[in-house]
Amino acid sequence: MKGQPVQVVEAKDDHLFELNEEALSEILMNPNVRDKKVVVLSVAGAFRKGKSFFLDFCLRYLNAYVSIISFNSADWLGDEDSPLDGFPWRGGAERDTTGILLWSEPFTMTIPETGEEVVVLLMDTQGAFDSLSTVKDCATVFALSQLLSSVQVFNIMLNIQEDDLQHLQLFTEYGRLAMEDSNAKPFQDLHFFVRDWQYPYEHDYGNVGGQELIDKRLKIVEGQHSELEQLRRHIRSCFHKIGCYLMPHPGLKVATNPYFDGRLSDITPEFKEHLKKFIPALLSADKLIVKEINGSKITCRELLEYFKAYLKMYQGDEIPEPKSMLIATAEANNLSAVANSKEHYIKEMEEVICGGNRPYVNPEILLSQHVRFKDSAIKMFDTCRKMGGTEFSASYRQKLDKEIAEQYEYLIKHNESKNVLAAAKTPAVLFCTIVAFYFLNGVMNIIHLTPLANLSNLIMLIAIGVLSVWVYTRYTGEMRELGESIDDLASALWENVSFTPFFLIFYHKILRYLSV
Ligand SMILES: Nc1nc2c(ncn2[C@@H]2O[C@H](COP(=O)(O)OP(=O)(O)OP(=O)(O)O)[C@@H](O)[C@H]2O)c(=O)[nH]1
Ligand SMILES: [Mg+2]
């Protein structure tokens, strides 16, 4: 067989995936294929479930198609005693394939309807749910497989269970995040490939029985729980076509013999029969599905660009990280407990002491009430039932603490703004400054210190100007930063200069004026 498996996406130790651009370019930028439309068949699913093994039969089919002049679909499976090679596969309990592999030799086929030559690529992927991969790793591989293939084979064992559908929903949604927004269905064909199907008396092996099963599993019925209904709607909305193939057991030698090398003589005739039906249903020239992105068919050259773009997406922080169900639920529980406890604090503080319609309160009282309601909010958080345990909750407790502190800061400012004297601080300070320098000017004139009198006069005029600007900013709401700077200046004067004598003189003058 020509060609070999090529690792185009490598799984690194730090749970990141890296594109092997050089190797990928060698396949996709080959002058014989780069401008041809591309068909990508990818197999994804849990680890140790025969994905690579199945792909090797797909390789045999394509190899026979391109090398046998009068291709006869009956004999492509090969002779009975040759070991199965191609994408690496093996028995055992530990994972084998990592990252994403492509077959180095692209197969060129002609679509009979249009006479167009297209390139068929086979993609093998890292199995999901092994003990070394995080949820993000599994979601990334599945999403990449989904994004880059035109036909996705979802390989599962024994039956289609609700958790298979839930994972499919999570992973396709993760894939959708990397795509541009569009109303069209984002993905093309999805085939559930159920291995070791045990109930042919209910649904027969093959695609007819498979279609019955998948239609049953994805059926939306009246009165169904909204969670189940939403899941089904989501899956249906993601794919142009959803099929299913029920595969018989390949025989005990395949499943349990450590020396089994893939030879056909060790595989049950029933399994071989179904390989001969399912693989041509995916890969015969009249069934090929060209890869489309946003409604346009793409070439090998364009596929290379999409590989780069999608990998970059999953390497950056633009896309939120998928989490395990427990962590996601625990996060949601804790966040809602934080929100409820904070709400409780705000409500109590506003209702009891410093809401919009309550008068100014002494800052000491505000502080004591803050301590009281903060304690009760934290107690409320601690007693609320949450998933994840105390250790997990610790950071959310800190978050609550921080948010309450911020809220308290805000309440202090809000309370301060209700203090009439505080609001009048700036005009009072400026006014006192004007009055003080007015008198100083008079006194300096009397003792003939003209330069000092002029200086006092100048300062008085500047203070009048500043006061006018302040009034303007407050009245019109324009140049607010300038207004704030004047407030800061007035506060600094207030704190550093004693205005009491000026106030006393001022009140004395007014009283004298009134008594006259
Ligand atoms: N029971 C059963 N075993 C199978 C079937 N097909 C292949 N196997 C066996 O499953 C084992 C794993 O095959 P692989 O093709 O390496 O599995 P994989 O899904 O690629 O595994 P990872 O690369 O680790 O994800 C091998 O021992 C195969 O003989 C099948 O249809 N049913
Ligand atoms: Mg494998």
Among 420, 453, 475, identify where a domain stops: 420
CA distance 109 to 289: 12
Distance 139 CA to ligand 2 centre (A): 17
- The secondary structure of 314-364 as a DSSP string is HHSSSSPPP--HHHHHHHHHHHHHHHHHHHHHHHHHIIIIISTTSPP--HH
For CA atoms 221, 225, 230, 235, the dihedral sign is: negative
Residue 59 pLDDT > 90: yes
Q: What residue spans of 109-194 are helical by DSSP H?
A: 135-148, 162-177
* Sequence-ordered list of residues with C-beta below 8 angstroms from that of 233, at least 6 positions apart, any chain: 220
Report residue 71's pLDDT band, with 50, 70 and 90 as the boundaries: low
Query: How far lies 241's CA from each of 141, 154, 215, 399, 428, in Å?
Result: 21, 13, 12, 46, 76
- The candidate with the shortest Cα–Cα distance to 247, out of 201, 287, 209, is 209
Same domain membership, residue 454 and residue 384: no
Among 420, 454, 475, identify where a domain stops: 420
Same domain membership, residue 415 and residue 438: no
Residue 503 pLDDT > 80: no
Weakest mean pLDDT among 73-82, 224-233, 275-284, 429-438? 73-82
Same domain membership, residue 357 and residue 317: no
Most informative mutation of 43, 47, 48 for ligand 1 (most atoms within 8 A of CB): 48
Same domain membership, residue 240 and residue 164: yes
CA distance 334 to 386: 6
Report residue 210's pLDDT band, with 50, 70 and 90 as the boundaries: very high
Distance 308 CA to ligand 1 centre (A): 30
Weakest mean pLDDT among 101-105, 232-236, 422-426? 422-426
Weakest mean pLDDT among 156-170, 412-426, 498-512? 498-512
The owner of tokens 């927004």 is: 181
Same domain membership, residue 383 and residue 313: no
Distance 459 CA to ligand 1 centre (A): 91
Same domain membership, residue 338 and residue 316: no
Q: Are residues 179 and 186 in contact, defined by beta-carbon separation less than 8 angstroms?
A: yes
- The candidate with the shortest Cα–Cα distance to 124, out of 193, 30, 56, is 56
Q: Which residues, judged by CB distance below 6 Å to any ligand atom, belong to the binding site of ligand 1?
A: 47-53, 89-91, 95-97, 127, 195-196, 247, 250, 254-255, 260
Q: What is the pLDDT of residues 137-146, one digit of tens each?
A: 888 888 888 8
**What pLDDT score does 453 carry?**
87
Distance 53 CA to ligand 2 centre (A): 7
* Sequence-ordered list of residues with C-beta below 8 angstroms from that of 167, at least 6 positions apart, any chain: 128, 138, 142
Residue 504 pLDDT > 70: no
Ligand nearest to the CA of 57: 1
**What pLDDT score does 472 carry?**
87
Q: What percent of the chain has pLDDT over 70?
A: 92
Distance 286 CA to ligand 2 centre (A): 28
Among 405, 420, 435, identify where a domain stops: 420
Most informative mutation of 56, 126, 254, 270 for ligand 1 (most atoms within 8 A of CB): 254
Same domain membership, residue 238 and residue 112: yes
Weakest mean pLDDT among 91-100, 144-153, 217-226, 316-325? 316-325
**What pLDDT score does 148 carry?**
87
Mean pLDDT of 433-457: 86
CA distance 263 to 278: 19
Q: Are residues 278 and 207 in contact, defined by beta-carbon separation less than 8 angstroms?
A: yes
Residue 101 pLDDT > 70: yes
> For 46, which DSSP code?
B
Return the bridge partners of 4, or none.
none
**What pLDDT score does 123 carry?**
93
Residue 72 pLDDT > 70: no
CB-based neighbours (< 5 A) of ligand 2, an ion: 51-52, 96-97
> For 127, which DSSP code?
P
Q: What residue spans of 87-238 are helical by DSSP H?
A: 135-148, 162-177, 207-217, 226-238
Distance 349 CA to ligand 1 centre (A): 63
CA distance 180 to 172: 14
**What pLDDT score does 257 carry?**
84
Mean pLDDT of 37-52: 90
In terms of residue numbers, what domain contains 249?
Answer: 5-322
CA distance 379 to 292: 55
Weakest mean pLDDT among 11-20, 132-141, 324-333, 352-361? 352-361
CA distance 373 to 165: 46
Pairing of strands 37-45, 151-157: parallel
Number of domains the chain is built from? 3
**What pLDDT score does 154 carry?**
92
Provide the token pair at 516.
């006259």
Task: Find the helix or strand (DSSP H, E) in which 192 lies.
Answer: strand 187-195
Q: What is the pLDDT of residues 315-354, one digit of tens each?
A: 777 767 777 777 878 888 888 889 889 988 988 888 877 7
Same domain membership, residue 67 and residue 18: yes
Q: What is the pLDDT of residues 249-305, one digit of tens each?
A: 998 888 888 888 888 888 999 999 999 889 999 998 888 888 888 778 888 888 888
Same domain membership, residue 306 and residue 173: yes
Report residue 197's pLDDT band, with 50, 70 and 90 as the boundaries: very high
Task: CATH number of the domain at 357, please.
Answer: 1.20.58.420
Q: Are residues 141 and 126 in contact, defined by beta-carbon separation less than 8 angstroms?
A: yes
CA distance 384 to 361: 32
Q: Are residues 360 and 423 in contact, defined by beta-carbon separation less than 8 angstroms?
A: no
Task: CATH number of the domain at 312, please.
Answer: 3.40.50.300
Same domain membership, residue 81 and residue 41: yes
Mean pLDDT of 451-462: 88
List the residue whose alpha carbon is closest to atom 2 of ligand 1: 255
- The candidate with the shortest Cα–Cα distance to 153, out of 183, 120, 194, is 194
Same domain membership, residue 95 and residue 165: yes
The backbone region for 320, taken as left when phi is positive above 0, alpha when psi lies in -120 to 50, beta otherwise, is: beta
Same domain membership, residue 295 and residue 333: no
Most informative mutation of 52, 53, 156 for ligand 1 (most atoms within 8 A of CB): 53
Number of helices (H), then strands (E), in the chain: 17, 11
Provide the token pair at 389.
């345990």
Task: Name the residue type at position 368.
Answer: S
How far from the centroid of its chain's Cα atoms is residue 52's Cα?
30
Return the bridge partners of 120, or none.
39, 107
Which phi and psi angles does 32 have, rounded to 5°? -75, -20
**What pLDDT score does 481 carry?**
82
Q: What is the pLDDT of residues 405-441, one digit of tens each?
A: 998 988 888 877 777 666 677 888 888 888 888 888 8
**What pLDDT score does 436 carry?**
85
How high is the mean pLDDT of the chain? 84
Side-chain-facing half-sphere of 56: CA atoms under 13 Å: 20
